[in-house]
Amino acid sequence: MRQNHPGPDRPDALAQFLILGSASPALLRQSSESLAGRIEILEMAGFTLAEVGPDAAPRLWLRGGFPRSFLAEEDAASLIWRRDFIRTLLQSDIPQLGVRVPAATLQRFWAMLAHFHGQLWNGSELGRSLGVNQTTCRRYLDLLEGVFMVRLLQPWHANLLKRQVKAPKIYFRDTGLLHQLLQIHDHDALLCHPRLGASWEGYVIEQLLAA
C-alpha cells in the first residue's frame, strides 16, 4: 500500500512509502541498529467499513478485514484462506518470536477463547478446560494480544478503586477469524449462531476504534 506521510527527517515535506508487510522478527533480532528516533510504528488493521462502504458491511462482518479473506470470490475460498492463516501464524510466525508453545495447544486455546468472545476474562475456567493453570492461560492470552489477534477491553471507572468489575472483556480483533474458529461458514449460519450478538458487538467496537 502506498501512503503519503511526512518523513521523520523532513517534517514539512510529504514522502511516499511502499508498505510491504511486517518485518521478520528473526531479522529484527539480528539487526545491529535499533533505529531509535528514526522509526515510527503504525498499527494497521484490515479493511474497515469506511473503506469498503456500507453495502459490503455484511461481507466485512462475516469474513473479517484481511484483504484476501474479504476479497475472495466466494465464502469457501475465504474460509480456506483464514484456515491457512491461522495455521501459518501458529506453526511459523509465533515460533519466530521465540515462543515455545506447541501449535496444537495454542490452537485449542484460541478455539476455546472464541466461545468467550465478548465475555469477561475467566482464566480459571479456561485453564480447567485446557488442563493448565490460570497463569499459563493468561500467558497464552497475552501472546494472542501481542500479535494483535485479540483485544482486551479494560473496565472503566472514574475512580479505579471503586470500580466493581476488574476483569477485562475479551474480543477478537477480526470477526472473520472468530467465525472460522466457531465454524461459522456463511451468513445464514452466523444469524442462527448463539454467539451472534457477541460477534456483532466485537465488530462494532473495531469499527468505532478505526473511526
127-136: pLDDT as tens digits: 998 889 999 9
Contact 83, 165 (CB under 8 A): no
**Residue burial 134-152, b: 16+ Cβ < 10 Å; e: rest:** eebbeebbebbeeeebbbe
Grid cell of 85 as nine digits: 492463516
pLDDT at 22: 62
- Quote the percentage of the chain above a pLDDT of 90: 64
Q: What is the mean pLDDT of residues 101-120?
A: 94
- pLDDT tier for residue 170 given thresholds of 50, 70 and 90: very high
* Angstrom distance (rounded) from CA 30 to CA 6: 28
Q: What is the mean pLDDT of residues 97-114?
A: 92
Rounded to the nearest 10 degrees, what angle do helices 134-146 and 103-114 cross at? 90
Contact 98, 104 (CB under 8 A): no
Domain boundaries along the sequence of the chain: 48-210
pLDDT at 186: 94
- pLDDT tier for residue 2 given thresholds of 50, 70 and 90: very low
Q: Which fold has domain 48-210?
A: Arc Repressor Mutant, subunit A (1.10.10)
Q: Residue 144 above 80 pLDDT?
A: yes
**For the segment 14-39, what is each residue's pLDDT rounded down to a tens digit?**
777 766 556 565 556 656 666 677 77
46 or 36, greater pLDDT: 46
**Residue 192 CA to its chain's centroid (Å):** 24
pLDDT at 158: 66
Q: Residue 178 above 60 pLDDT?
A: yes
Q: What is the mean pLDDT of residues 175-184?
A: 97
* Angstrom distance (rounded) from CA 63 to CA 59: 6
